[in-house]
Amino acid sequence: MYFVAEKKYRTPSFPQDPSCERITVMTGWLLPRADGTMALRDAKVFVTDCDEKEVRTALPLATVHVSNQAFWVLQEHGYEDETYLIAEIGPADVRYPITVNGGGC
């Protein structure tokens, strides 16, 4: 399972702009273990402000199962660009064997 978690703080990033909150964004994968618990893989944490320029999150488009292996097709987007990825989900890690730049501003 791919996830995006976001926490907004009441403290502004800049005292002169109280409407621009500090934000923490975390992305990653939760993989089931044999004992019923979940393992966190490929976690990324972004500490940013209201413009979220540093943040990269993904939109899962499809899952493909081939020979007991799961592959996810993702559209990852940042502040000014996007990338298309194939994620190979293994029991111990997440790999990205194919990454294609989708363009940007």
Q: Which residue has the higher pLDDT, 83 or 21?
A: 83
Do 46 and 28 touch, CB atoms closer than 8 A?
no
State which amino acid sits at residue 100. V
Sign of CA dihedral 22, 54, 47, 31: positive
Distances (CA, A) of 74 to 32, 50, 64, 78, 83: 20, 24, 12, 13, 8
**What is the reported pLDDT for 55?**
95
Count the domains in the chain.
1
Quick: pLDDT tens for 27-81. 999 998 889 999 999 999 999 888 889 999 999 999 999 988 889 999 999 999 9
DSSP state of 79: S
